[in-house]
Amino acid sequence: QVQLVESGGGLVQAGGSLRVSCLASGRTGSLYSMGWFRQAPGKEREFVSAITYDGGRTHYSDSVKGRFTISRDNAKNTLYLQMNSLKSEDTAIYYCAASARNLMAIATIDYDYWGQGTQVTVSS
């Protein structure tokens, strides 16, 4: 089993920056890829970004490409999402996820473990 705990969410003004983190514990050696999803009120959970376990490949949704950067520090078992040029439409609960089956997972069904989420609110 793998446990994921997000942190770093909060309130930020439009145009600002925020970094959210995800600490993984348990059988982290079994993981292939990790990712971030988000869910706004009344909407389905959507893919934001993913990264392979070695950090060699990343993938972003079109809505965040060029503004968000995903990274990981395996020595610290921590996944990061640096969010710049934030917009009001980025407001959502951000979830960390980990996959033990896919090298580059971008669908919710491809992920095996989920964190509890951290709220990010962007004020306009």
**pLDDT tens-digit map of 14-43:** 999 999 999 999 988 888 899 999 999 999
Q: State whether residue 78 is helix, strand or coil.
A: strand
Q: Residue 38's beta-bridge partner residues?
A: 46, 94
Listed in sequence order, the residues at least 6 apart from 91 whose beta carbon sits closer than 8 Å to its beta carbon are 40, 120, 121, 122
Helices (H) and strands (E) in the chain, counts: 0, 11
| pLDDT digit string (tens) for the chain, length 124 residues | 999 999 999 999 999 999 999 999 998 888 889 999 999 999 999 999 999 988 889 999 999 999 999 999 989 999 999 999 999 999 999 999 999 988 888 999 999 999 999 999 999 8
Query: Rounded to 5 degrees, what are φ and ψ at 74?
Result: -65, -30
